[in-house]
Amino acid sequence: MKLLLSKYVWFDGRYALAEKANVPITTHAIHYGTSVFEGIRAYWNGENLHVFRLDEHVKRFRRSGQFYNISLNFSDEEISGAITGICKKNKLKRSCYIRPFYFVGEYGIDLHVTEKAPTNVAIITFPFGDLFSKNGITAGVVSWRKFSDRSTPPQAKMGGNYLNSIIATQEAKRNGVDEAVLLDHNGNVSEASGENIFIVRGGQLITPTLASSALNGITRDTVIKIADNLGIKVVERDIARSELVIANEIFLTGTAAEITPIISMDSKKIGDGNPGEITKKMMDKYANIVMNRDDGRYSHWLTAVY
C-alpha cells in the first residue's frame, strides 16, 4: 500500500520535508525492530479537524517504550503539540492517519538497550479513509498463535512485535479471506492481526480479556464505554474458537479499522451475512462521535487542530 505522505514530517523536534528525513542504514531499529509506534486518526467534519483520543494515544506511546527501556526524550505535551502541529503544517482539511514513532538510532549491534541509547522521534501524516469495507469482511483463524507475556510484552506497540501479524496475514490471504484471527497460547481467541475482536451473543458484547494477549486497544476501550452508556452489557472473558462460528455478530475494532463487521468466519456465514443490529448501532455511534456530531458527552475525546 503506497502512502500519499503529506509534504512535511516532524522529526526530532523540527518540521522537515518528508524526503529530507532520513536515517543511516546502521540504525539499530532497522536491524532489531527496536521501534515504538502509535496509530492515531484525525477526522475532518467540514468545520474542523479533530484528533481522536490524543491523550490516551500519547500516554500509551510512552508506556510502550518503557517496557524495553527505550527513551522518549520529549514530554507528553511536546508530542501532543507536534501531532496537532504537523496537521496544521500540512494544512490538512480531510480525515487522516497520524503515525508517531520513536526508535533506537546509531547504537551499533549491541542488544543491551538502556535508557541512555540514542533515540529519534518522527511523526508522519497522510489522508486515510476506510481500511476495510464497512459492509463487512471475511476472516479465518490461522495456525500461528499470538505471542504472549511468556515471550514479549503484548501491551507494547513495538515494530518487531508485528512480524507476528504479518505472517498471520499472509496465511489468511493464502486462505482467501480478508483478515486473520489468532488464538492465544491456551487456544482461546486473542485478536485479529491488527484489531481487537468482539462477538455478540444473546444481546451481549463479549471480548477476550487482556490475559489472552489482546492489546488494550483504545478503540476497544471506546466501544466498551459506548456500550455501557447505551445499556449494552459487555463481558470480558475467554472465547473458545468454536464460539466464533455460532456468534450472532462479530466485529473488529482498531484505530485504522474503526469498527469493522465480520460477515463470514472460517467460511461460515455470521448471522444473515450482513452487519448485525448491535454492530451497526456501534458503528453509527462511533462515526457520530469522531465527527463531533454527537450530543457532546464524548467531546473530551476530541482535540481540535484549528
Model confidence, pTM:
0.96
Answer yes or no: do 46 and 177 share one domain: no
Nearest in space to 43 (alpha carbons), one of 83, 90, 93, 118 = 93
Answer yes or no: do 147 and 123 share one domain: no
Answer yes or no: do 175 and 77 share one domain: no
Domain of residue 144, CATH code: 3.20.10.10
Question: How is residue 63 written as a grid cell?
Answer: 508506556
Answer yes or no: do 114 and 77 share one domain: yes
Structural domain count, the chain: 2
pLDDT, averaged per 10 consecutive residues of the chain (306 residues), comes to: 89 97 97 98 97 98 98 98 98 98 97 97 97 97 97 97 98 98 98 98 97 98 97 98 98 98 98 97 97 92 98
End-to-end CA distance of the chain: 29
pLDDT (0 to 100) of residue 3: 81
Domain of residue 51, CATH code: 3.30.470.10
pLDDT (0 to 100) of residue 295: 83
Active site residues: 157
Nearest in space to 102 (alpha carbons), one of 156, 168, 182, 179 = 156
According to DSSP, the β-strands at 14-17 and 8-11 are: antiparallel
Measure the CA–CA gap between 20 and 291, rounded to whole angstroms: 33
Answer yes or no: do 144 and 216 share one domain: yes
DSSP 85-106: HHHHHTT--S-EEEEEEEEE-B
Answer yes or no: do 117 and 141 share one domain: no
- Quote the domain boundaries for residue 174: 137-290
For residue 295, being part of any structural domain is answered with no
Answer yes or no: do 22 and 167 share one domain: no
Strands in the chain per DSSP E: 8-11, 14-17, 35-37, 40-44, 49-52, 96-104, 119-127, 137-145, 179-183, 189-192, 196-201, 204-207, 234-236, 249-254, 258-265, 268-269, 302-304
Residue ending a domain, choose from 96, 127, 158: 127
